[in-house]
Amino acid sequence: MERLPKDPIMLYSVINTKLRDFYSSLEALCEDMNIDKNTLKEKLSSAGFEYNKERNQFI
């Protein structure tokens, strides 16, 4: 996660853009970018965002 923004709002934007443009799932993104999925979800959850699998984005 050191390559990603620390600010949760910026992180939200970057992750959703990557999910939209490059990855079919959160699992694929995390595996490819070597990110712990639970850590990412906790960081975004702290800012009020939850992952929606059907939409493949944090909302």
Cβ proximity of 58 and 51 under 8 Å: yes
Low-confidence ranges of the chain (pLDDT < 70): none
Query: Which pLDDT score is estimated for 55?
Result: 98
Per-residue model confidence (pLDDT) at position 1: 76
For residue 17, which amino acid is it? T
Inter-axis angle of helices 8-21 and 37-45, to 10 degrees?
Answer: 130
Give the separation between CA 24 and CA 55, rounded to whole angstroms.
Answer: 10
Other CB atoms within 10 Å distance of the CB of residue 8: 15
Q: At what angle do helices 37-45 and 26-33 cross, to 10 degrees?
A: 120
| Residue 2 pLDDT | 77
Residue 33 pLDDT: 96
